[in-house]
Amino acid sequence: MGHSPDHTMIEAGRLMPPRCRLDPSEPVGWDGYLYPWTFSVHDFEPITGRIHQPPPSHQTSQGRNFVICSFCPRKLDFDPLAVPIPYHHSNLQSEEMIYYVSGKFGSRRGVDVGSITLHPSGLPHGPQPGLAEKSIGTHETHELAVMCDTFYPLKLSALAKELDDGKYAYSWYENAEDGDGAEASVDGEGDASGAGLTSHF
């Protein structure tokens, strides 16, 4: 590899023109606080633990009023008594917008590859009825999703309102609109990851 192009860094409010021997945007498996502008989610190494890890452990980048979290395939909580699925919660200081990239989301009814969900500030959300119990004993997840948390309210565009199927908000009911149970399977066909689309899904 030849000499890398010039890069400009911002440090303490000043522009710094470092010269690098290698291009800093080419490493695989990035770990640290200095991130390139382009980052492949497939190179992110998830953090796992004995119990459920909070969203900051999945954070891959941040901006002035937002953070990006990447929920990647990984091993789940390994404590024998751990419930490997997120708890119900309300984010009082941020809005959650999640894009479901790949995997089989059998743990969340009404969410497929290509779906986008929005959890406004203060809206309680978490696993659907019965899913926490079904997730016990699950050891890994294969879903991939990217979340953007914004610290100011998001406003839906006219196009976003047209794309809303009107059903997601009701997916936490024991019996969804179509009449059958809203419980999702985490064993059997599909991705048996009780990770419930990781945290916040």
Whether residue 66 is predicted with pLDDT greater than 90 in this model: the reply is: yes
Higher local confidence (pLDDT), 64 or 131? 64
Virtual torsion, Cα 162, 167, 172, 176, nearest 10 deg:
180
- Which listed CATH number (3.40.190.10, 2.60.120.10, 3.40.50.10860, 2.40.128.20) goes with 47-201? 2.60.120.10
Residue 188: pLDDT above 50?
no
Instruction: Show me where the domains of the chain are located.
Output: 1-38, 47-201
Query: Of 6-10, 32-36, 87-91, 96-100, which range is least confident?
Result: 32-36
Mean pLDDT of 159-176: 76
Give the angle subtended at the CA of 143 by the CAs of 138 and 148, to the nearest 5°: 120
Place of tokens 């100011």: 152
| Cβ within 8 Å of residue 149, ≥6 positions away | 55, 66, 67, 69, 91, 94, 95, 96, 97
* Buried-state track 19-30, b at ≥16 Cβ within 10 A, e below 16: eeeeeeeeeeeb
- Tokens matching residue 112: 């497929």
- How far is Cα 8 from Cα 161, in angstroms, rounded to an integer? 40
Q: Which residue has the higher pLDDT, 155 or 187?
A: 155
Is the pLDDT at 177 greater than 50? The verdict is no
The per-residue pLDDT for range 99-153, each reduced to its tens digit, is: 999 986 645 666 788 888 888 888 888 887 777 788 888 888 888 999 999 999 8
Q: Looking at residues 58-69, what average pLDDT do you find?
A: 91
Instruction: State how far the Cα of 41 lies from the Cα of 59, in Å rounded to an integer.
Output: 11
Handedness of CA 67, 141, 84, 78 (dihedral sign): negative
Q: pTM for the complete prediction?
A: 0.67
- What is the per-residue pLDDT for 39? 75
